[in-house]
Amino acid sequence: MRSSFDERLAVLEAAGVGRERLVIDPGLGYFLGAGPEPPLRALTCFGRLKVRFGVPVLVSPSRKSFLRALTGTGLSGIGPASLAAELYAALNGADYIRTHDVAAIRDALTVFESLEAVKAGV
């Protein structure tokens, strides 16, 4: 993944696209592998990618097949697993989250941030 981003970012910059216009997406789809392990690994390492490349990170775990494989849940019931993965991404530095349920992640982040504020004594 890192070598792929090294290559693509170099090509884009050579073509005159400034880094301030770039966003990387580590991808969490089926192309990473048949089981849940490769997408889980990608989800846990994007913070390091962000630091290494110095560009924002977009992540999209919503409704992905790795979540269905991991939980044994069908598409109609995958909302909680999607929300958990999205919340994990948000709390670990994702700049952008593409989701199927904007209200759910907005509310989850509102509750989390409120709890953190109370904990910090704000």
Other C-beta atoms closer than 10 Å to the C-beta of 17 total 12
- Distance, in Å, from the CA atom of 32 to the CA atom of 1, rounded to the nearest integer, reads 10
| Secondary structure E strands in 11-83 | 58-59
Query: Is 19 a catalytic site residue?
Result: no
CA 64 to the chain's CA centroid: 12
List 19, 48, 98, 106, catalytic entry: 98
Query: Is 64 a catalytic site residue?
Result: yes
List 64, 68, 106, 119, catalytic entry: 64
| Residues in CB range of 112: below 8 A, 6 or more apart | 87, 91
Active-site annotation, residues: 64, 98
